[in-house]
Amino acid sequence: MNPLLKLGELGQNIWLDDLRRGIITSGELKDLIERDGIRGITSNPSIFDKAITGSHDYDNAVKALALQGKSKEEIYDDLTIEDIRDASDLLRPFYDQSQRATGFVSLEVNPHLARDVEGTLVEARRLWNELDRHNVFIKVPATKEGLTCIRRLISEGINVNVTLLFGLPRYREVAEAYILGLEDGLEKGVPVEGIASVASFFLSRIDVLVDSLLQKTIEQDEAGATAARGLLGSVAVASAKQAYAIYREIFGGKRFLALREAGARPQRVLWASTSTKNPDYSDVKYVEALIGPETVNTVPQETLDAYRDHGDPAPRLERGLSDARQVLDRLDELGIDLDQVTRQLEDEGIEKFNKPYDDLMSNLEEKRAEALREAPNAQSLELGNLEDGVHETLMQLETSAFGKRLWEKDPTLWSDDSETGDAIRGALGWLHVAGKMAKNVKELKAFAKDVKDAGFQHVVHMGMGGSSLAPLAFKRIFPQGTDGLPLSVLDTTDPATVREMEDQAPLEKTLFIVASKSGTTAEPLAFGDFFYSKVEEIKGDKAGENFVVITDPSSPLANRAQERSFRRIFLNYPDIGGRYSALSYFGLVPAALYGLDVEGLLLRALRMAHACRSGARAEDNPGLVLGAVLGHLARQGRDKITLLLPDALSPLGMWIEQLLAESTGKEGKGMLPVAGELAARPSIYGSDRVFVHMRLKREPDEILERTVSRIRESDQPVVTIDLEDREDLGQEFFRWETAVAVAGAILTINPFDQPNVRESKENTNELLRVVSETGRLPEEQPSLTEPPLALYGGSGESSVGTSLFHFFSQARRGDYVAFLAYLTEERATENALRCLCRDLQEHLHVATTVGYGPRYLHSTGQYHKGGPDTGLFVLLTAEHGSDRAISGRAYGFSAFNRAQAQGDFQALRKRGRRILRIDLGNDVGLGLARLNQAIGQAFAGGRPS
């Protein structure tokens, strides 16, 4: 039998005198608890100094905290409190099972407060409240000043581990302080049954000091040499045995009986400093001799290993008490004053904690300074004669203290209306979410591991707009992580895509994430119901094990998830809008499951947040600079933000597209993001363009660089953003969110609402109501049919080519053409659409975009309806193949998708937008080829005037 486990049977708790993040995250601590019966953990400044400075376990955490503006003291607090909480959570089951007798973790107050009563009290209360765990001890030194603190803290119901205890007289005072604290607490109505305390005797240090004094006697006093030799290595154990006798006397006496009847527990003695310092002594010396009931022995890892290997557990603590008394008497006879020894040890003990604490603070300050010196890669501007205007805008931002007011969440940057201001203030949580999520990294990693350990083989993330575009970017930009699962993102009601997802995913082994901020978004709810019914057919009432929800607190979706016993509900921060949620649970839950380094992504985001901090000058603030460029140039008519991205980063364009368009496209204003447009001759581009070029330093794209060079030479304004590698995606999320907030203020609009998104939703819902009542979707007759094409909204022209010519003849300088494709998103379809865009760009010299429905409804759809009337919209539909029924609804995905297309068609037409709908028939490839041919015919006579 493991000797360590035998100690538990003999009434002694074994605690580990060591706490490092690595033993928690690696599972080593859990193994020690299960294998060796560890029932508590102690920490001190020396332990944390070795853990933090002697490993890389804390490097990222220190950087993250530094970038949030934390001081070295605050960083130390955050690191230690997190470790103590995690360790106490591991031990909490034993605390509960033992009726609060064991399962504790200890944290020391600042050692410099050892002689400061008020400072210790304030610090102890603060730590107790921040730890927010009942199974923790606050360590208070057994100094004279500490006695007052012990009594006060115990009376307030705060658990105390009395540390740096060496002498027997002081132990009596410590026990008295504990009892007085309990009595004070009873008088104040504090429930004493929940209060715990231990008195920690430091042992090996006694022998080290006393042995040195005995050695002097041996060397200098021949008469006392023999007696001195007999006392070597025996004083600490003798003191401990005497202390235990005092413990029995005090806590077995009449005075404590009344407290015991009120539910109070004795203050157990704890043997500390139990590693053997003298190699001539047994390496389990301070464990073997002190085994007894109602005691604790806290041992370092090497002593733990030694005792597991060759310990001989037996109840020895109460044996040889008379011998122990004789040891102390003989020590006195030799002229060695044990009280003087213990006073010296107390002073030295305080210093031995002060020094590592100070060393750690110094080290943390160095790490903090190093983190703050790390700046994001360069952002360069080549604006030509537009530069002066941008500089003037930046100076206005500086004068108005925009950066400071942004971080103060001042809504008057965007609106003076109080109701609008309240909504804006409640939408700025993205400023701090990276710091909040940095604290949740461990939770995300643990969840991802749990999912994989449970046997899941695939993850399907189901959302729309802000709840899906960041996961989609992660999926398409990063390879699957080593420990991750394959990830699919479903954000379309296209029945063919839904069918493919159903066929590819092993349903019983797939984890489905339903993501919706409001909990009412129609598409993810439909996806969730569809796949829940499929999994329910396989797993019955256990289907909920395969589902996870990400939503705001108290949303209908959260309630639905509880009813169906979903595996997990992640409640996101409600003060973050969907399109600003990339660095929240919406983006990082799927990222963690996919095996990405979410901690690294957050670190990059925090680095950018620090660069954009409140105190940064406007011209040094990357987010403010980009926002000033975009906002000022948009006011000059350069409102087409053309993204020039390397292939590796091209999916980021969809996320930027939503952020820009949905945030700024309102009140007839806005910025149109142009993502994925094929490069054209510089002469094609008009004076409505601003180019944003991103490049990966570690993955150079020579073709893109040549394209950008030609654009620069044509005197178009270019912003170049350098990224070190793909993980810099984290910093780009924050840069662009800040930039959009700034640009919105310059354009005098509220970038945190989306007033026109609802229009298409309401039209869609009305059409689906008709389907539910009649069994069919109402469909208007085409204005022209030329198989396989059918046109809706034309003017009765004789051919498709003529109709297209007349439609595109409406194009004006500064317009754009948008293809709104309710089609299956496939490579061939994407290539064909981009070719159509290239041809129209060549003929019309306007910007072109492609958006897949219904995704764009939650993205550029706001700009289409709320922005300037500069769009020519070509809405593309096709006949669907086999449908997929949606559980609980009278329609399937085919009708849903078709209704969304028609609903947006109606919304755009009602607003007087220039729109043409073209149905491609039952063969999308053939239909697109015919459409391309018709566009060629339309422009055969030249560019429309």
Active site residues: 139
Residue 615 token pair: 């105190």
Angle at 76 between CA 74 and CA 78, to 5 degrees: 70
β-pairing, 689-696 vs 510-515, is unpaired
Q: Which of 677, 694, 690 is nearest to 731 (CA)?
A: 694
Residue 113 token pair: 């407060």
- Burial class of residue 778 (count of CB atoms within 10 Å of its CB; 0-12, 13-18, 19+): exposed
Q: What is the DSSP letter of 698?
A: T
Cα separation, 628 vs 10, in Å, equals 72
Q: How far is CA 147 from the centre of its chain?
A: 42
Q: Mapping DSSP to helix (H, G, I), strand (E, B) and coil, where does residue 884 land? A: coil
Cα separation, 834 vs 210, in Å, equals 86
Residues 857 and 760 sit within 8 Å (Cβ to Cβ): yes
Q: What is the DSSP letter of 423?
A: H
Q: Which of 842, 167, 723 is nearest to 477 (CA)?
A: 723
Q: Residues 360-395, buried b or exposed e (16+ Cβ, 10 A)?
A: bbebbeebbeebbeeebeebebbbeebeebbbebbe
Cα separation, 32 vs 30, in Å, equals 5
Residue 520 token pair: 């009412």
Cα separation, 801 vs 518, in Å, equals 44
Q: Where are the beta strands (DSSP E) in 62-195?
A: 104-108, 136-141, 160-165
Contacts 24+ apart (CB under 8 A), 443-451: 444/588, 444/589, 444/592, 444/598, 445/592, 445/598, 447/568, 447/589, 447/592, 447/593, 448/483, 448/484, 448/485, 448/592, 448/593, 448/595, 449/483, 451/485, 451/511, 451/593
Q: Mapping DSSP to helix (H, G, I), strand (E, B) and coil, where does residue 247 land? A: helix
Half-sphere exposure of 873 (CA within 13 A, CB side): 32
Beginning with the edge strand found earlier in the chain, give each strand of the sheet holding 784-786 in spatial order. 784-786, 789-792, 914-919, 871-877, 816-821, 847-852
- In the block, residue with structure tokens 């560890």: 38
Cα separation, 101 vs 501, in Å, equals 53
- In the block, residue with structure tokens 């008088």: 187
Cα separation, 121 vs 718, in Å, equals 59
Residue 43 token pair: 């920490």
Angle in degrees, 0-180, between the axes of helices 168-188 and 338-373, rounded to the nearest 10: 70
Element (H, E) at 343: helix 338-373
Angle at 519 between CA 516 and CA 521, to 5 degrees: 70
- Burial class of residue 697 (count of CB atoms within 10 Å of its CB; 0-12, 13-18, 19+): exposed
| DSSP per residue, 190-205 | --GGG--EEEEEE-HH
β-pairing, 789-792 vs 718-723, is unpaired
Q: Which of 689, 715, 921, 722 is nearest to 815 (CA)?
A: 689
> Phi/psi class of residue 190: alpha, beta or left (left: φ > 0; alpha: ψ in -120 to 50)?
beta
Q: Which of 110, 718, 664 is nearest to 379 (CA)?
A: 718
